Amino acid sequence: MAPQTEHEAFRLKRGLVYQKLRDLIAGKYFQPGAKLPREVILCGQMGVSRGTLRAALARLEREGYIERCHPGGTRVTGDMPRRILVVLPSDLNSLSPAFYAYPAVEECCRRHRLEMHTVLYRQLPGEIAEPESYLGALLLCVPCEKDEPCRLLRKYPFPKVIACADPGSGHLRGFACVGFDFRCELLAAVRYLMDLGHRRISYISSVTSRRFPLSELRSFCESSGIPGSASLIREFSEYPEIRGIVKELMHLSAPPTAVLCFNDHVALEVYAELKSLNLSIPDDVAVMNTFGVANGVLLKPDLTYIDSAHALAVKTAFDLLLHWKERQPGTPEPHVVIPCNIVSRGSTMKMFLPSAGTPGREEKPSSKKEVKP
C-alpha cells in the first residue's frame, strides 16, 4: 500500500537509504576509516533528496557507524561499539518480565548487528575486557542499590539501561530505566471488569512476585464500591496451591464473578479448576490476566489480558543506548514508562445487572449453576 502522506513517504525513503548505507558499511564496501562520497554524489546515486540523505546519515552517526567532521566530510568509524552486555536475573523464570522480553532483545541485536554478551546478575565479572567495544548494558532485572553486582555495574564505563522494570527503578543513580507501572496496570484491569458490570472481583498472585502492597488494592476496591476483603485477594507460594484457592473462592457464600490472574500460568490453573467445578468461562466466571503475553490465545476461550508490551520496552531501551551521546551533559538518566493496553478476548463478557441497580442494563435471568463439592 502506498504511503498516505508526504511525511510517511519521507520516513520510508529515509529508512531505505539508511538500510542500504548500513549494509554497505557492514559488508566492508566502505572500509573503516574510509571517506564517504560527497552528499551530492550519494543523492544522485540513490535518487533521493539531500534532506532524506542527511536524515539517514544522522541515524548512522547516532548508531556509531559514521562520524561527520567539518571540514573533512563523513568517514566510516574504525572501532564501532558492536557489542552489548545483557544482564539477566539470577533466578530467571516464567514469573519474570525478562522471560518474555529476551526474544525482543535477540531481535534488536540482530537488527542492529550487535553481538550479545549475556550474563546473570549475580555472576557479573569484576572487569569487562575491551569496554570500548560495548554500546552499553541492558538489564532485564532491577539492581539492588547496595549489593556487589550493582557496584560493579556502576564501574563499567558505558551507559546502563534497566528494561522491563517498575517505576521506582528509575531512581537508581547511574541507570536509565524503561518499565511498566504495575500498579496502574492492575487498577486498570479492575476498572475494566467493573465497567463490564463485575462487583465481586478476585485477584490471585504470587507471594514472591508482589508488585505493590495488596492493602492498596483492597483500599482501591473498597473506595470503588466493591469488596476488597482478604477472602477475595489471595496469594500462593507454589503453583499447586492455585486450584485449592479457586475451589475455596467458588464455595464462598458470595463467590467472585471475575478472577484476575497474575500471569498465564495462574490463568491455566484457574481454567482447569473452574472446568472441574462445572463452571463456564465467561458465562459463570470471567477470567483475566494482569501480566500477560500473547500465549493466552491458546486457551479456550482465549484469555483477556493486560499487554505489558515487552518488545516495545526493549526497543525503547535500545533507542536510549543508541542515542546516549545526544544527551546533554549533567542531565539525569532517562526514565520512561511504557503504557499498558487491555486486549479484550473471549474470557470476559459484559455482566447483566438488575435494571434497578444499574439503569439501562438488561437483567439476566436467575440461573445459578450448581458447583461441584
Residue extents of the structural domains in the chain? 6-76, 83-181+311-339, 183-306
Look at residues 173, 89, 93 and name the one whose alpha carbon lies nearest to residue 138: 89
**Over residues 283-303, mean pLDDT:** 81
Residue 54 reports pLDDT greater than 70: yes
Cα dist from 285 to 54, 119, 346, whole Å: 57, 43, 12
Residue 139 reports pLDDT greater than 80: yes
**Over residues 86-94, mean pLDDT:** 84
Distance CA 293, CA 102 (A): 13
Fold of 6-76: Arc Repressor Mutant, subunit A (1.10.10)
DSSP 319-348: HHHHTGGGSPTTPPPPEEEEPPEEE--TT-
List the 83-88 sheet strands across, edge first.
Answer: 115-120, 83-88, 134-139, 160-165, 176-180, 335-338
**Over residues 70-86, mean pLDDT:** 75
Cα dist from 123 to 90, 128, 140, 144, 153, whole Å: 8, 12, 14, 14, 11
pLDDT recorded at residue 294: 55
Pairing state of beta strands 160-165 and 134-139? parallel
pLDDT recorded at residue 347: 94
Residue 366 reports pLDDT greater than 60: no
Residue 293 reports pLDDT greater than 90: no
Burial 166-190 (b: 16+ CB within 10 A, else e): beebbebeebbbbbbbbbebbbbbb
Average pLDDT across the chain, whole number:
82
Cα dist from 275 to 39, 122, 247, whole Å: 67, 42, 11
DSSP E strand stretches across the chain: 66-69, 73-76, 83-88, 115-120, 134-139, 160-165, 176-180, 201-206, 233-236, 258-261, 286-292, 304-307, 335-338, 341-343
C-alpha cell at 132: 570500548
Q: 183-306 in CATH: which number?
A: 3.40.50.2300
Pairing state of beta strands 258-261 and 286-292? parallel
Task: Say whether 280 sits in a helix, a strand or coil.
Answer: coil
Check residue 301 and report its DSSP letter.
S
Confidence of residue 209 (pLDDT cuts 50, 70, 90): low
- Looking up cell 467458588 gives 250
Distance CA 234, CA 245 (A): 8
* Cβ proximity of 70 and 102 under 8 Å: no
Look at residues 332, 312, 318 and name the one whose alpha carbon lies nearest to residue 171: 332
Domains 6-76 and 83-181+311-339 share a fold: no
User: For 36-51, how does the pLDDT look when each residue is reduced to its tens digit (9 = 90+)?
Assistant: 898 899 999 888 998 8
Neighbouring C-alpha atoms within 13 Å toward the C-beta of 124: 24
User: For 116-125, how does the pLDDT look when each residue is reduced to its tens digit (9 = 90+)?
Assistant: 999 999 998 8
C-alpha cell at 312: 516495545
Q: Does the reported pTM lie above 0.85?
A: no
pLDDT > 70: what percent of the chain? 84
If one counts every other C-beta atom within 10 angstroms of the C-beta of residue 258, the result is 27
- Looking up cell 529476551 gives 102
CA 154 to chain centre: 24
Q: List, in order, residues 6 or more apart from 55 with CB less than 8 Å away.
A: 10, 14
C-alpha cell at 234: 489471595
pLDDT recorded at residue 373: 58
If one counts every other C-beta atom within 10 angstroms of the C-beta of residue 274, the result is 22
Confidence of residue 168 (pLDDT cuts 50, 70, 90): low
Q: 83-181+311-339 in CATH: which number?
A: 3.40.50.2300
Distance CA 62, CA 114 (A): 15
